Structure 1
Amino acid sequence: MVNGIEFFHCPWDDHPAALVWGARVDGVDLRALTAWATRELWRPELAGQFEDQERESAELIWRQHGGLGVLDFTENPFLRTAGRTPLLGCPCGIWQCWPLMARVAVTPTTVTWSGLHYPEREEWGELPIGPFVFERTAYEASLSAPAVLAEDPLGPVPESLGCVP
């Protein structure tokens, strides 16, 4: 199965004049896919941490990532194939703080993201999302002309994300 990909730039919440990279896989923001994939992994770490446990846990998980700063890279980050490639960064603006990493494999016809994981949570292992296989021409076309959005498209935390009872 081939996945759809859309890259975009949107303002960084803390500095609206600064743009970050984002991605949608099959029409869904990668940050949303990651939130759903990690909510149960977060459960033991977040238990008892907040006054309004369910709401605050869901908010932290939903907003655990920002995009990748547009100026952070001298080359496009999504075409690196040596070692691990960052797909998402920390909302603080320093992507290395909480990166979502993946292996990126490029063939003449496809680009594949696999082995999505967090270096800071090696005990979580590979996340239960992906691999994602994209048609290379569509991938490169979206990279070369990312949509520029007026605001972050992630939106509010969905009620159904309820993470910690």
Structure 2
Amino acid sequence: MSLVDLVSGYERAAGFDVPGAYAGVVLDHFKFGDVTAYLTGQPDSAYWANRGVIALLGCDCGEVGCWPLESQVLMGDDVVTWRGFGQPFRPQRDYGSFGPFTFRRSQYEGAAREAAAVVAERGSL
């Protein structure tokens, strides 16, 4: 199941307005610096670095800033955890029981490198 499906189901069950209006981050529009650094919670962009979160999903219109799902990314020795989810345009929403989601660090870093390679190949950075 995709993160879009998971958060959509959570938001519908919680009775949130505008539930699940998300899509993946469009790599062709990615302008946040190094993709690997971004996905590992160390974004180059001062905006994201100062907030302590990254947008894991953007709006279903294709624009991250329109309707993002944000999360903390915690890098452990062997695991990566997404937690502390939020919707900045609905700060009153409680995502406390959504997640956390944990991944094997080696697999996560490999997927982040693959995404960075796609972006570099397309010349999007």
TM-score computed with the length of structure 2 as normaliser = 0.72
1:69 maps to 2:26: yes
Greater share of residues in helix: 2
Identity of aligned residues (%): 31
> SS in structure 2 opposite 1:138?
helix
- Aligned partners of 1:134 and 1:40: how far apart in 2? 25
**Residues 32-69 of structure 1: CA deviation (Å, up to 9, x unaligned):** 000111003445x4xxxxxxxxxxxxxx645x111112
Deviation readout 1:110-137 (Å, 9 max, x if unpaired) = 1110011101111112253111111100
- Contact 1:65–1:89 (Cα < 8 Å) also in 2: yes
- SS for the counterpart of 1:66 is strand
* Bigger RCO (CA 8 Å, 6+ sep): 1
Structure 2's unaligned 5+ residue stretches are 43-48, 119-125
Moved more, 114-123 or 80-89: 80-89
Cα RMSD (Å) of the superposition?
A: 2.1
Task: Report SS of the residue matched to 2:23.
Answer: coil
Larger CA Rg, structure 1 vs 2: 1
Q: 1:128 aligns with which of 97, 111, 120?
A: 97
- The correspondence for 1:138, drawn from 104, 107, 122, is 107
